[in-house]
Each structure stands twice: as structure tokens, then as C-alpha cells.
Amino acid sequence: MLNTALAPGRLAAAAAAFVLWGGWALLANWSAGPREALLAGLVQGCASAVITLLMAICATTLFNRIPGPTWLRIALPPALIVSVSFSGLWLVHSLNATPALWATIVPPSSLAFVYCLYLTFTLARETSQMPPEQPPHD
């Protein structure tokens, strides 16, 4: 699982998330002062990089393990993943005393939810296109 999380494409995505959402947090908190803005940017950038590394693995694992109808397997992983990541972001930014806490965490969490939905829709489509398993031959 760690090799999958550290695949070159995922590392590039994590680096992009660090720059994009760390930069967003820097801008969202700039009015509080450069020190606060930089700290909020570093916290959000690091968190976004880690979340990006783990999100696809978690979505795939949950999709494959959740029993029941397809709609549940599509909807539940994004809801669980983003609930956990949003709570974690809220906690670390609260501990950091990030001035513009909600403006800092709502946009990346919203995009994370959309991305997770995309992942689970893709998994559902791929699963539906697979041929049914054949019983073993005697």
C-alpha cells in the first residue's frame, strides 16, 4: 500500500496539492499578517499533500469493502473520507489558531469530496464493465 501511495504520479499530485492549497491558505490568511499566513499555508499545504496521497487508496479500499448497492459504494467512501479529513483539518488549524479557519479548509475539502466522488464513480463504472466471475471447472 505504501508503494501505491508513493507512486511518482501520486507524489506529483501531492506536491501540486501542497502548492495549490498551501498557497490558498496563505492568501486566505494574509490579512492577519505574513507570519500567520505563512504558518497557515504550511499547515494546509502539508495536510493537503498527505490527504492527497491517501485519498485514492482509501476510496478504493472502502469501495471494494463496502457491501450493498452500488449507490452506497459510490456515496459512502467520499462522505467518510472527507468527514475524517475535514475534521483533521479543523483540528490542526484550530490548534494552529489559523485566523481564517473556514475560508482555509472549506475549498480544499469541497474539491476533495468532488474528487472522491469521481474516483468512486470511476470504480463503479470499471466494476460494471468487468465480466462476471466464472465458477471453477471440475
CA distance 117 to 111: 10
Q: What is the pLDDT of residue 127?
A: 86
CA distance 1 to 57: 8
Buried b (16+ CB within 10 A) or exposed e, 1-14: eeeebeeeebeebb
Angle, in degrees to the nearest 10, between helices 34-65 and 70-96 = 160
User: What average pLDDT does the chain have?
Assistant: 90
Q: Summarize pLDDT for 9-43 with one digit per residue, the tens.
A: 788 989 999 999 999 999 999 999 999 999 999 99
Cβ contacts of 19 within 8 Å, gap of 6 or more: 45
- The predicted model gives 90-102 an average pLDDT of 97
Q: What is the pLDDT of residue 79?
A: 97
Q: Summarize pLDDT for 122-138 with one digit per residue, the tens.
A: 999 988 886 666 555 65
